[in-house]
Structure 1
Amino acid sequence: MGDIMKTSSFALTEAKYVAGDNIKHVLLENVREASLRVRLRQENVAGVKLPKFEYTSDADANKNDLTGLARGGQQVQHCRAAYIKAIEVLVELASLQTSFLTLDEVIKTTNRRVNAQENVVKPRLENTISYIKGELDELEREDFFGLKKIQGYKKREIEKQMLLKKVESNLTLHKAVSYNSSNLLAVGDKDEDIIF
């Protein structure tokens, strides 16, 4: 870059020396519009739109070949060629610089988003998850305690029913024994005497 700019400046100095001080007026009279144009287009790199500068030259670029033919025309054309090379490099440099600045802004924005995710959103989600886990554990303990209570209640009911059945069977047995004993002691039949 530095060498190209140095060469183009030295070529301008040579052209001024050969053609004289009025080279500026001669060139301005012969040139009506720019022969090189810079246009902007965008490139998409990983979802980021980067500006890209391109230069284009007109087909009428050679119409000024005879500029300064009387005094230093060859040096003027050499100066023009040197400045065209300088413009090519400057356009490329401008394209790279704007791409770097755009990427730098995108990286900063992405870093801010990542920091926000890590320092704000993630802790909130972790707190919410721990709260939900705590509530689910509490509900599980309540269900377990309720099941234990129900099992205890069922066990007591079964024990009561077993005790009732025992009592009923004892009462039935006692009634059967008392009924049979009353039949045995009834006045009607006499048993034989048993000798021991």
Structure 2
Amino acid sequence: MARLDVKPTRMELSNLKDRLAISTRGHKLLKDKQDELMRQFITLIRQNNELRAEVEKELTEAMRAFVVAKSLLNESFIEELFAVPNTSVTLDIQEKNIMSVIVPQMDFMVDEAVKEPEMQYGFLNSNSELDQAIDRIKTILPKLLKLSEIEKTCQLMADEIEKTRRRVNALEYLKIPELEETIYYIEMKLEENERANITRIMKVKDMGQ
């Protein structure tokens, strides 16, 4: 194991022991952070998988109804129906802190001031499949937004977990062993010097007698 290139003095030994204590505490804090991030990440991944499966199922049903409706209706009518939105939607993105990770918190609001009545179209031009498709897509929108929020949060947390893991490994396998090896080396050197001094003093005494 490599050691630091320092002079084997008692002052240096004291400094290294302080650095080792700080590194050990830092390692524990980072390890605790990593464990908590992993716990929350796993919970979010489960939520993401469940919500994604639910959204995909509902989107499939909505698109199936829309395809059927399109096959039974005049295509120009459908294009005209969806050409101009009848409501104004505002996306509000806030931020929240999860274990020092800044993640998005999304909400969307329908602007009631500009909201118009439900889509107007004649019953002769409509069918139940089109109504079902429109209703289903409306109910899916909040879930789609929540899904994007969770997936972005998972991505940011995964990046933070990887950064924390690298820092934990650097301390655990490089920094702390390096400090311990250097401390051991200096202690051996100081003990060796102390034994040499004692031997020298004893020789001096012997020569004086």
TM-score by length of 1: 0.63
Partner of 1:137: 191
2:100 alignment partner, one of 47, 52, 64:
47
Match for 1:86 among 118, 121, 140? 140
Which structure has the larger Rg?
1
2:126 counterpart of 1:72 = yes
Other structure's SS at 2:116 match: helix
Does structure 1 residue 118 correspond to structure 2 residue 172?
yes
Letter matched to residue 40 of structure 1: I
Contact 2:88 2:115 in 1 (8 A): no
2:110 matched residue in structure 1? 57
Partner secondary structure for residue 63 of structure 1: coil
Contact 1:11 / 1:78 at 8 angstroms: preserved in 2?
yes
Tell me which residue corresponds to 1:23: 78
Q: How many residues end up aligned between the 2 structures?
A: 153
**Separation in 1, partners of 2:121, 2:113:** 17
- 1:32-43 aligned at under 5 Å gives the runs 35-43=88-96
**Which residue identity lines up with residue 49 of structure 1 in the other structure?**
I
Q: What residue identity is the alignment partner of 2:192?
A: E
The aligned counterpart of 1:103 is: 157
Residues 51, 99 of structure 1: 8 Å contact kept: yes
**Aligned equivalents of 1:97, 1:82: Cα separation in 2:** 22
Q: Shift of the alpha carbon at 1:98?
A: 1.1
- The one-character-per-residue Cα deviations of 1:118-160 (angstroms, maximum 9, x if unpaired) are 2321232122112211221023213322443455456x2xxxx
User: CA-atom RMSD, angstroms?
Assistant: 2.9
Percent sequence identity over matched residues?
20
More contact order relative to length (CA 8 Å, sep ≥ 6): 2
Give distance in 1, aligned partners of 2:201 and 2:74. Answer: 109
Offset of 1:43 from its aligned partner? 1.6
What are the ranges of 5 or more consecutive residues in structure 1 without an aligned counterpart?
Answer: 157-196
Structure 1 residues 36 and 8, CA gap change in structure 2 (3 angstroms) = farther
Residue 36 of structure 2 is matched in structure 1 by: none
Q: 1:66 to 1:103 in 2, by over 3 A?
A: closer
